[in-house]
Amino acid sequence: MKFKYASRGEKNRKNEDGTSMNKPDNIKWTKKHLLGIEELSPEEIQIILEYAERFKEVLKRPIPKVPALRGKTIVNLFSEPSTRTRASFELAEKRLSADNLSIAASSSSFVKGESLIDTVKNIEAMRVDMIVIRHASAGAAHLVAKHVKASVINAGDGMHEHPTQALLDIFTIKEKLGKVKGVNVSIIGDIAHSRVARSNIRALKKMGANVTICGPKTLIPKQIEEMGLTVTCDLKAALKNADVINILRIQLERQERGLFPSIREYVKNFGITKETLNKYAKKDLLIMHPGPINRGIELSQSAADSKYSVILDQVTNGVAVRMAVLFLLNSAK
């Protein structure tokens, strides 16, 4: 599939159907917001993956930029720390030629007591087209979407969802293994407090993968097996048939009390090392991690940097996936 945006020097070229190279082709996309994987159909996920593939090609050009969102304004409102997601959205927006700015809660009027709704209404009053929001409360992006006309993208809401992370994760699986359907994915670590786990489970199930989750019993949500996955507290069982392991850090910032005896015990039972992998995992296993990694806890130094690791590929793919999401939401009628 050829991407219908002109690269440098192709400005006046036309597509085969006579349309301009600088206009989107015929997209069947209706969603204005990306609030969670829960709201996406498998077909919509497939469309995002296809567009991300096209944008990945754009990103390989000498000038990795298209005019798709020229004239659009995007605000990234982050009230929780972020390195990858925020930088990735900012870059994706710039690669699409949007005007953008980022607001960190710590330096905003949040600290003076302004409510989330007042904040976003004030941002929107400056004629903003899209708001990317990360917030500590589950449902924050949904709430914002009810109060503004702009498109809203959830960049992580509490323990609820992190949809673009799941999309870039399945994009990476598809890129490396050629498919998602039928792939055995084990998600290992603090499932209970992880929005990445929730979005990944939903996305993987919708795309036909076999999902196993593994961690200490206290870090596995009750009745999660109702989502149609395998639950185990035995790391060897989680590694045995896995094609992919997605390792999650322990989210101490979301835990009110000690949910396992000690970090040392966690490392002993659930830490992934090269030795564990050599003993129990498939030789062509993929190691994924959404970051940030706590090296030496959920993942050893040598395993994180091993040939199995596609962790930095995930980060690279995040820009293309976020370009696809922004582009498609902007095209919604």
Indicate whether 73 belongs to the interface with ligand CP (CB under 6 A).
no
- Give min distance, CB of 237 to ligand CP, in A: 26
Question: Would you say 15 or 255 has its CB closer to ligand CP?
Answer: 255
CA dihedral 1, 60, 185, 48 (to 10 degrees): -50
The residue type found at 89 is: F
DSSP letter for 11, please.
Answer: T
Give backbone dihedrals phi and psi of 311, rounded to 5 degrees, phi first: -65, -40
DSSP letter for 60, please.
Answer: T
Q: Which of residues 73, 76, 79, 82 is near ligand CP by CB under 6 A?
A: 82
- Expressed in percent and rounded to 5, the helix, strand and coil fractions of the chain are 40, 15, 40
Site for ligand CP in 150-169 (CB under 6 A): 156, 162, 165
- Give min distance, CB of 279 to ligand CP, in A: 29
Inter-CA distances, 121 with 31, 115, 234, 245, 264, Å: 21, 10, 48, 41, 47
- Give min distance, CB of 251 to ligand CP, in A: 11
Indicate whether 83 belongs to the interface with ligand CP (CB under 6 A).
yes
Q: Which of residues 31, 84, 176, 282 is near ligand CP by CB under 6 A?
A: 84
Structure tokens at 39: 């709201």
Q: Which of residues 76, 85, 199, 212 is near ligand CP by CB under 6 A?
A: 85
Q: Binders of ligand CP: how many residues, by CB under 6 A?
A: 10
Question: Would you say 68 or 141 has its CB closer to ligand CP?
Answer: 141
Beta-carbon-side half-sphere exposure of residue 307 (alpha carbons within 13 Å):
4
**Residues whose CB is less than 8 angstroms from the CB of residue 210 and which lie 6 or more positions away in sequence, other chains included:** 182, 183, 184, 185, 230
Q: Which of residues 224, 276, 291, 316 is near ligand CP by CB under 6 A?
A: 291
**Any bridge partners for residue 185, and if so which?**
211, 244
Indicate whether 106 belongs to the interface with ligand CP (CB under 6 A).
no
Indicate whether 200 belongs to the interface with ligand CP (CB under 6 A).
no
Name the residues that contact ligand CP, by CB under 6 A: 82-85, 156, 162, 165, 290-292
